[in-house]
Amino acid sequence: MKVKVDVRGLQLPGARPGAAVEAAYEFDNFALPEQELFLPGHGLCASCTIGVIARHMLKVLGPDTIVVNPTGCAEVSTVTYPRTNWAVPWIHVAFGNGGSVASGIEAAIKVLKRRGAIDPNRKINVVVFAGDGGTADIGFQALSGMLERRHRVIYVMYDNEGYMNTGIQRSGTTPLFASATTSPAGRKIPGNLTHKKPMALIAAAHGIPYVATANPAYLPDMLQKFKKAAEVDGPSFIHVIQSCQPGWRFEPKYAIKVLELATETGYWVNYEIEDGVFRITVPVPKRKPVECFLKLQGRFRHLGKEEIAFLQKVIDEDVKRLNEMAGGEYIGPLDPEAAC
C-alpha cells in the first residue's frame, strides 16, 4: 500500500543546549511522603498508568493542591458520584477548558491573598491534569492562553495517544500508523496518517520557565520534574507518556515494559527545558530498533517492513534534532542487533 507521508521536522526556536543532568538529580535525598492523596478503589482499567502518574504527582505536590480535571479517562474513572479518589480539592471541567479554569483559580487565589482571606505566604499548587485530546486538540487554545498570560499553573498532560474513554478515536498525539477507530488500518490506509504533535516543544515556544517530557517507567526522573514544575514562578508544562491497554492493545503485564521500550528505542525522549536551556534527562547509550516497541502492541500489528522502516527513519530524524538541541549525543546510535 502506498501512502505519501513526510518525515516531520522538530524545531525549537531559541532553545540553548545544556548538558544531561541525570547525575545531578539527588534522587536519594528525595523521600516521598507515605500519605496517599490519590486513593485506591478507582475504576481505571487493570494496568492503566494514569494511576501511577496521578498518585506520584500528588505525593510530590502535597495536600495544598487543587486539581483541574477535564473530561477523559482520568476523570470518568475516579469520580463516580458520590465517591472520589482525589483526597485534594478537585474540579471537573469541560473537555476543552482546563487551561481557562485553572487560570481563573490561580487569579482568584492571588486576589484572596491580596485581601487577606488567604495567608499570602501559603503556597497553593494549581494543576491541570488533562488527556492528550483535552490538551493537544480541543483544549489547545485554553492552554496557549494560560501559558501566554503566565499563570502559575502546572499543566500535566497524560498522553495515551488517543481519545480513550470515548472509544479509542485518534487525537493530535496519536502516532503515525497506529490503528484507531477513526483511522482504522485496512485496505485504504495503514492506520493514522499524521505525526504526533510535539506538545512540549509547542509549550516551550511560549517562552515559559519550565517544560518537560516524562515517562512513568522512569519514576525518579518524573518525580524530579513534578518537583521542579512546582518550584517555578510561572506556568509549567509536563508531557507524560501513558500506556493504555485497550487503546494500545498489549498484555496488561507489559504496561511498564512498553513504556521502557518507548524510551529505549528513542520513540519517547525524556527531556526538560528550564529557562530556555534544553537537556536530555534520561540518556540512552544505544537505541533498540523501534520494532521492539511496536511488536508488543496490537495497534501496530498491521505494519509491514516498509512502514516499520519509515517509522524508524522518523525516530532517527527526531533523535538527531533533539541531540542537536541538547548539544551532544545523549541518545545514542541505533543498534539494529539489540535484543528487545
Where does this chain touch ligand TPP (CB under 6 A) — which range of 3-11, 13-21, 105-113, 160-168?
160-168
The burial class, CB within 10 Å (0-12 / 13-18 / 19+), for 321 is: middle
Where does this chain touch ligand SF4 (CB under 6 A) — which range of 88-96, 180-188, 196-204, 238-246?
238-246
Question: Is residue 72 involved in binding ligand TPP (CB under 6 A)?
Answer: yes
Q: Are 48 and 244 in contact (CB under 8 A)?
A: yes
**According to CB under 5 A, which one of 22, 75, 106, 132 is a site residue for Mg ion?**
132
**According to CB under 6 A, which one of 18, 51, 99, 131 is a site residue for ligand TPP?**
131
Question: Is residue 73 involved in binding ligand SF4 (CB under 6 A)?
Answer: yes
**According to CB under 6 A, which one of 38, 86, 155, 163 is a site residue for ligand TPP?**
163
CA distance 211 to 200: 6
Find, among 101, 98, 120, the residue nearest to 110 by Cα.
120
Q: Nearer Cβ to ligand TPP, position 195 or 288?
A: 195
Residue with cell 512546582: 230
Q: Which of residues 76-95 bind ligand SF4 (CB under 6 A)?
A: 77
Alpha-carbon separation of residue 52 from 80, 325, 335 (angstroms): 19, 30, 31
Q: Are 215 and 190 in contact (CB under 8 A)?
A: no
CA distance 295 to 298: 8
Q: Nearer Cβ to ligand SF4, position 15 or 44?
A: 44
Interface size with Mg ion, residues (CB under 5 A) = 4
**According to CB under 6 A, which one of 97, 100, 125, 165 is a site residue for ligand TPP?**
165
CA distance 100 to 328: 38
Distance of CA 335 to the CA centre of its chain: 26
Q: Are 177 and 192 in contact (CB under 8 A)?
A: yes
Q: Is the dihedral of CA 155, 156, 158, 161 positive or negative?
A: positive
**According to CB under 6 A, which one of 164, 178, 201, 315 is a site residue for ligand SF4?**
164
CB neighbour list of residue 33: distance below 8 Å, 6 or more residues apart: 59, 62
> Which of Mg ion, ligand SF4, ligand TPP, none has residue 45 at its interface (CB below 5 to 8 Å by kind)?
ligand SF4
Interface size with ligand SF4, residues (CB under 6 A) = 13
Question: Is residue 160 involved in binding ligand SF4 (CB under 6 A)?
Answer: yes
CA distance 26 to 185: 45
Question: Is residue 106 involved in binding Mg ion (CB under 5 A)?
Answer: no
Q: Nearer Cβ to ligand TPP, position 184 or 220?
A: 184
Question: Is residue 247 involved in binding Mg ion (CB under 5 A)?
Answer: no
Question: Is residue 216 involved in binding ligand TPP (CB under 6 A)?
Answer: no
**According to CB under 5 A, which one of 70, 131, 209, 289 is a site residue for Mg ion?**
131
| Contact residues for ligand TPP, defined by CB under 6 A | 71-74, 95-96, 131-134, 160, 162-166, 171
| Contact residues for Mg ion, defined by CB under 5 A | 131-132, 160, 164
